[in-house]
Copies of this chain bind each other. A is one copy, B any other.
Amino acid sequence: MRIPQSRSFALFLLCLLACPSAPAAPLAIVNGTVIDGTGSAPQKNAVIVIEGQRIAAVGPAGKVAVPDGAQVIDAKGKFLIPGLMDANVHLFGSIGDLALLYKYEGRYDELILEAAQIALKTGQTTVYDTWGPREPLVKARNRINAGDAVGSRIFLAGNIIGFDGPWTTDFIPDVGALVTSTFVAGINEMWQQGVGRELMWLGPDEVATKVRDYATKDIDFLKYGASGHAQMFFISFSPRVQKAIVDVGHEAGMTVQAHTSSLESLDMAIDAGLDIATHCDMTGPSTLMPDETIRKLVDKGIACSVLPITQARMDALEKLQPNGLITPYMRTSHQNISKLIAAGVTLLLSTDAGILSNDSESHFARLLGSVDVDPSTKLGEGHFNALVGLEEKGMAPMEVLKSATSNIAKAYQHGDEFGTLEAGKLADVVILDKDPLKSARNYRSIHTVIKAGQRVDRDALPLVPIVSADWAKE
C-alpha cells in the first residue's frame, strides 16, 4: 500500500520544482565507480549526469554521454554512493545545556541549522529528526528545504506522542531550584505540543482526536512512545490506543514509528501496525530478542532503526563503565543487532545523534558515566562509527550501504525521491576516496558531497559555529 504523503512533504516536492537554487549548467561525474544503493553491483568507470536537482542519467562511460557545457567532476579512483542518511537524529541536542537554552531563547532554529550543517558536511544529505522542539525544527527544516539555508534535508516528528518534555521525569527530572517554573514550563511546552503524558490517561477516541490535531502541525511523520523513556520497561499505551495512533498517522499520509525499549513494548507496537520500530535492538538490560519476535519483523516487513556501536566502544564500556547506566542496555543491543542482521531484518542506520558543546559534553559524561571511544551519539561522528559497527556485526558491505541510504528512504516512504543513484532521483551523491565496500571505515573518506545537484562547500560548514564553536579542529 502506498500511503499518501504528508502536507509538508508535498510542499517539499513543490519546492523541488520551483525553488531557484539549482545550477544552470548540467553536472557530470565521470570515471568513478558507482555503487547506486539499490544493491546492484558496483559499476566501474561510470558516468552520472545531473540536471538541475535530479539525476538525469547513470551508466557506463560508453553509454551515458556527458552533455555539452556540463561541469565535469573527475572521480577517477573514487566511489560514488547515494547521500548518507540517518533514520533517527535529535538535531537539537542541548536539552541539558542551560547556557544555550538561555542565550538562544527564541532562536533555537539556529542551533538546529548548525547541526544540520554538520550532518551535511559529513555526508548526510537527509536526516530524520525523531524527537525535538517542533517549532524551531519546522523553521529550520523549512529554511533548508526551501533553499534558504544550507543543511541536511530534514524530516521531523516533533514530540514522541505520550512523552512529556525534556525537563520532566521522562528525561531530566530535576533542573535545580534556580530555573524558574516559567522557564521550565516554556521548555517543556516546546516539546509536548498537546501530545504529552496526559494522553496516557485517555481512551482511544480521545487520543485519536489529540493526535489528529497534532498531525496538522506541519510535522512529517508520527512517532509515539510504545514504552516509557526513563521508565524503560513500562508500556505507555494499550493496544487499542496504539492502533488508534497508527491509524491516525496513516490516514494523514504519514509513516508511524514507535519508541520501544523493552521486548513487550516492541511486540505490542508490531501488532499495532507500525512502519518503523525505533531502536528495536533495545530490549532491556538482560533480555535478548527472541526468534519469534525477529520472525514477526521479517514477516511484516517492518524496518528497524538500530543503534550499533563499535566493538571498541563496547569493550571500553565493559572495561570503564561496567556499572554505567547504559552499559547493560548496549550489551544486549550489541547482541540483538547481530541476530537481526543474521535474520535479514531491514535495518536502518540510526544514532540518536545531536551536538553538544565541549563543556556540556564533559559535564554529562561525568553525570552519566560514558566513555570517549568511537562516540555513538555525536552528530557528524556517530554515523561513521555505526556503519563500522554494523559491518563488525556481520552485515554484508552492500547491506551496510543500504542501511544508511535506500533502506531509510524506503522505510520513510521517500524511496521514489532519493536514496539511490538512479535517473529521476534527487541528485544526493557522496564521492568517497576509498571503497566503502572494502571497509566501512572508508565512509569517512569523503571527497565531495552533492545535495540535490548542488556541491556542498564542506569547509565552510557549519556557517556559524555556536554549539560546536570550541570543538577541537581536526
Binding site for B on A (CB under 8 A): 96-99, 102-103, 105, 172, 174-183, 197, 200-203, 228, 231, 233-241, 262-265, 267-268, 283-287, 290, 359-360, 363, 367
* Most central of A238, A241, A285 by chain B CB within 10 Å: A238
Cross-chain contact of A234 among B181, B235, B284 (Cβ < 8 A)? B235
Contacts of A287 in B (CB 8 A): 201-203
- Contact pick for A200, options B200, B233, B237, B239, CB 8 Å: B233
User: A262–B200 contact, CB under 8 A?
Assistant: yes
Contact of A178 with B96 in the complex, beta carbons under 8 Å: yes
Smallest beta-carbon distance A272→chain B, Å:
11
Closest residue of B by beta carbon distance from A204: B264
In the complex, the answer to whether A240 meets B228 with C-beta atoms within 8 Å is no
Chain A facing B: main interface SS: loop
In the complex, the answer to whether B183 meets A99 with C-beta atoms within 8 Å is yes
CB distance from A101 to the nearest CB of B (A): 8
Cβ-defined contact, B359 with A180, below 8 A: yes
Contact A202 B234, beta carbon cutoff 8 Å: no
Known contacts A172-B178, A176-B178, A234-B231: A264-B200 contact under CB 8 Å:
yes
Q: Which residues of the partner chain B approach A99 to less than 8 Å between Cβ atoms?
A: 102, 105, 180, 183
Task: Say whether A203 contacts B264, CB under 8 Å.
Answer: yes
Q: Does the CB pair A268–B238 fall under 8 Å?
A: yes
CB contacts (< 8 Å) of A363 on chain B: these are 180-182
27 residue pairs bridging A and B, Cβ less than 8 Å apart? A98-B98, A98-B102, A99-B102, A99-B105, A99-B183, A102-B102, A103-B105, A172-B178, A174-B176, A176-B177, A177-B367, A180-B363, A182-B363, A201-B283, A201-B284, A201-B285, A201-B287, A203-B287, A228-B231, A228-B234, A234-B235, A235-B235, A235-B237, A235-B238, A238-B267, A238-B268, A239-B239
CA–CA, A360 to B178, complex, Å? Answer: 9
Least Cβ–Cβ distance between A295 and chain B, in angstroms: 13
- Chain B residue at smallest Cβ distance from A100: B102
Measured in the bound complex, the distance between the Cα atoms of B263 and A107 in whole Å is: 40
- Report the Cα distance A99→B176, complex, angstroms: 13
Rounded to whole angstroms, the CA-CA distance of A239 and B238 in the bound complex is: 8
Q: How far apart are the CA atoms of A268 and B264 in the complex, in Å?
A: 14
The complex places the Cα of A235 from the Cα of B236 at a distance, in Å, of 6
For A96, list chain B residues within 8 Å (CB).
Answer: 178
Find out whether the CB atom of A233 lies under 8 angstroms from the CB atom of B197.
Answer: yes
| Contact status B239-A202, CB under 8 Å | no
Q: Which residues of B contact A268 (CB under 8 A)?
A: 238-239
C-alpha spacing A283/B237, complex, angstroms: 14
Report how far A290 CA is from B48 CA in the complex, Å.
62
One of B180, B264, B284 near A241 (C-beta < 8 A): B264
A264 to B234, CA, bound (A): 13
- Complex Cα distance, B201 from A263, in Å, reads 7
**Please, how many angstroms separate the alpha-carbon atoms of A196 and B165 in the complex?**
29
Beta-carbon contact of A234 and B200 below 8 Å: yes
